[in-house]
Amino acid sequence: MGGKKTAGFVCGLLSLVRKQKASLEGSTLLEKSLTHNWLTYCATDLFHCPTYEAFYSCLRHIDRQLANRAFLSGSLLTIADVAVFVALHPFIINWSFQQKEQYVNISRWFDSMQSDTYLSKTYSNVKFSRTLLYDGTGRGH
């Protein structure tokens, strides 16, 4: 692009983002660094899980990282969020409610991601139930 040669997933994606919508890379140096790290994680780990065990290990890592963040690189959506959303959608759409509760941070993040105008036009909506069936107090509802 623009006379520069780009190769690979991370470089190619960042090149497109910088040309089309630079804010998706992140607005601070920390967010940009985290975005680069997440895209590299996608390319080296998430996209190449040889077993279900490896995939669930990736899910646990993502879930832990989302525990204190709205998005993967901080408080704003980046291209890393889009890449992970696209990669996880075919799996999460088939999750049971128990799996959604097991990965509660991914579920919260995914639910907010699917409200994005562009993503909601392309990807099927996944339902996330927040119905309280039992609150542990013994009182009826």
Is 71 in a helix, a strand, or coil? Answer: strand
**Is the pLDDT reported for residue 132 higher than 60?**
no
Domain map (residue ranges) of the chain: 27-122
The pLDDT of residue 140 is 44
d(C-alpha 98, C-alpha 112), whole Å: 19
What's the whole-number mean pLDDT along residues 107-123?
Answer: 95
27-122 has CATH 3.40.50.300 classification: no
Percent with pLDDT over 90 in the chain: 79
Task: Look up tokens 């009826």; give the residue.
Answer: 140
**Is the pLDDT reported for residue 126 higher than 80?**
yes
CA 33 to chain centre: 16
d(C-alpha 96, C-alpha 137), whole Å: 26
* Contact in structure between 24 and 82 (CB atoms under 8 Å): yes
What's the whole-number mean pLDDT along residues 84-106?
Answer: 95
